[in-house]
Amino acid sequence: MTDVSKTILTLFAVTSALFAKSTPAEDYLIYGIPNYPPYSVYEEQGFSGRDVELINTLAEQMNIPIRFSPCDWIRCLQLAKSGRIDVLTSVNRVKEREAFLHFIEPAYSISNIVFVVRKNEVTHYDSLLKFKETVIGREKGARLLDQVDHDSDIEKYESPDIVVLFKMLASERLDAVMGGDVAMKAALHNSGYGEQLALALYRVQVPSAYLAVARHSKRAEKHLNNLRAEMTRLHMTGQLARFSHWQELKN
């Protein structure tokens, strides 16, 4: 190789290195999205639902691209815990999750936690005490109500498929299936079990939807303060109420 060729290659290498250092890395956030109608819905052309609208609103205001990463709920939590995704929506705030998630105040929804039971037992389950010594199904990874989560007299069975839980309930292998009221109504309507199952009288209201940011993602940490500021701004200007009352507005 000639001295000229060596010089050209050396200059090319140095220039390439300098260019690489001076080119900013692409900025974006990865949103872990479960199929959780009507809040987050998988469609052929993409995604829709209340939480998708919220994420898109935040992205537009912050001028940052969002990459959607579909995952069932337990997988979304695992990915957030390892820092492989950056943000989650509709997250219930429980102590065990605070080790790996920042919860962004305020919660943007309050909902009723309900219990789906067999139709002939709707009136029987009129208090939490009636669920003692029962087996309750819930979505895998869900933490909905402390009184149930930490009650050793209530056995919990988890599945990533809510229809599987309804099938087990209808065949008397479970005593109830618990979840948020709007999501449970939608799932029951679409499952084909509406003639056999219904919502029990007992229900309890809880703050149920937080935006959560992965503590172990450097990319997410970079935008943490901006996300907090933008959620506060949406709340103070009344715009967050659109998401709190999203289902009523859609009806």
Domains, the chain, ordered by start: 29-109+207-250 (3.40.190.10), 110-206 (3.40.190.10)
Predicted confidence at residue 111, as pLDDT, reads 76
How would residue 60 be classed by pLDDT, with cut points 50, 70 and 90? very high
Predicted confidence at residue 242, as pLDDT, reads 85
Q: Examine the pLDDT at 128 and tell me if it is beyond 50.
A: yes
Query: What would the two tokens of residue 151 be?
Result: 């009650």
How would residue 9 be classed by pLDDT, with cut points 50, 70 and 90? very low
Give dist(CA 138, CA 92) in Å, integer. Answer: 14
Contact (CB, 8 A) for 35 and 71: no
Give dist(CA 33, CA 77) in Å, integer. Answer: 10
Residue 24, by phi and psi: left (phi above 0), alpha (psi -120 to 50) or beta?
A: beta
Task: State pTM to two decimals.
Answer: 0.66
What value does the mean pLDDT of the chain take? 86
242 phi and psi, to 5 degrees? Answer: -60, -30
How would residue 210 be classed by pLDDT, with cut points 50, 70 and 90? very high
Helices (H), the chain: 3-22, 50-62, 73-81, 146-149, 162-170, 181-191, 218-236, 241-244, 246-250
Predicted confidence at residue 135, as pLDDT, reads 96
The mean pLDDT of 203-212, rounded to a whole number, is 85
CA–chain centroid gap for 227, Å, is 16
107 phi and psi, to 5 degrees? Answer: -60, 145
Q: Please enumerate in sequence order all residues whose Cβ is within 8 A of that of 180, keeping only pairs 6 or more positions apart, or say none.
A: 111, 112, 113, 114, 144, 208
Q: Examine the pLDDT at 4 and tell me if it is beyond 90.
A: no
Predicted confidence at residue 169, as pLDDT, reads 97
Q: Examine the pLDDT at 110 and tell me if it is beyond 50.
A: yes
How would residue 66 be classed by pLDDT, with cut points 50, 70 and 90? very high
Query: What would the two tokens of residue 245 be?
Result: 């009352």
